[in-house]
Structure 1
């Protein structure tokens, strides 16, 4: 039962760099350090533990923590873990210096080769995402080419959306002009309207029809632009 309690405590501490009084009293500092190291995390979490425990006049054992942490790091910084990070395009873990963990480094760059492809670059570009700095142009030209091609498509899609938004806005403005014209026409045929009101309504109709004609001209122009851009987008 005691073993289960300690094991549960270690799992708890691995996910949260804080401790209460009871946790400080029973902490297996070597196990806590190991959990952080085995996840590729730095040893800086100990500073928080030390502060928490000092509030209760309990001394945290850095030597034990550091020993466990190093053991965890040794198990983390292996070829397979490096490959996993590389294939995800993630940053190189600075807890695994290449001078000490050559296998991790080899795995990382082997993973990058699988990640930094034309298709992955295109995928990022078409989403409008930035170039992954872990795939430098000089080393991964295909990735850069893919990103550039994808980003062009992303920008074209943005331009299409902007044109569509502009057309929707023009539709709304044209409808307003039609509504103004309809209201003026209703005023002209109303028995309750005076001669001056009818005359004013006629002038308003002329003004709104001119505006409607201008809006229609703009609308047709944007429609042509949109059709050309959509054709380019489909052929790209």
Structure 2
């Protein structure tokens, strides 16, 4: 069963990588930004975006802001930590950042034990 889960997780990650490249070819920078934000990743640098193609940084940033606000819901931070997802600091500077970090830490502590 673990082997099946591992294979499916690998395929999902591979699919996401291919999805980003396909979105870049389509010029869907807003969607790329949204996906990065909603996953709690830090925003890609300008040069990282340019590696994907002729990037529209403003569209990427708009999508990222929408996604990161969804991710940074402090009411779900405990579950994010409990699931073992590492927090990158993507919520810093947002109004509920401290509460998010504290709830995530509480979940992460239980996950780690």
TM-score by structure 2 length? 0.63
Please tell me whether Structure 1 or Structure 2 has the larger radius of gyration of its CA atoms.
1
Instruction: Report the equivalent of 1:30.
Output: 30
Report the RMSD for the aligned CA atoms in angstroms.
3.6
Instruction: Report the equivalent of 1:73.
Output: 68
Q: In the alignment, is residue 83 of structure 1 matched against residue 78 of structure 2?
A: yes
Instruction: Report the equivalent of 2:4.
Output: none
Name stretches of at least 5 consecutive residues in structure 1 with no aligned partner: 1-11, 54-58, 121-236
Q: In the alignment, is residue 44 of structure 1 matched against residue 50 of structure 2?
A: no
C-alpha deviations, 1:122-174, integer Å up to 9, x for none? xxxxxxxxxxxxxxxxxxxxxxxxxxxxxxxxxxxxxxxxxxxxxxxxxxxxx
Name stretches of at least 5 consecutive residues in structure 2 with no aligned partner: 1-12
Aligned pairs for 1:116-135 within 5 A:
120=113
TM-score by structure 1 length? 0.34
C-alpha deviations, 1:99-132, integer Å up to 9, x for none? 633341242244256x179xx3xxxxxxxxxxxx
Q: Which has the higher contact order (CA 8 A, sep 6+)?
A: 2
After superposing on structure 2, the runs of 4+ consecutive aligned residues of structure 1 that deviate more than 3 Å are 22-25, 45-49, 88-92
| Deviation for aligned residue 1:62 | 0.3
Distance in 1 (alpha carbons) for counterparts of 2:74 and 2:88: 12
**Distance change >3 Å, CA 86–CA 98, structure 1 → 2:** farther
Assess if the C-alpha contact under 8 Å between 1:40 and 1:93 holds in 2.
yes
**Distance change >3 Å, CA 47–CA 84, structure 1 → 2:** farther
Distance in 2 (alpha carbons) for counterparts of 1:15 and 1:46: 20
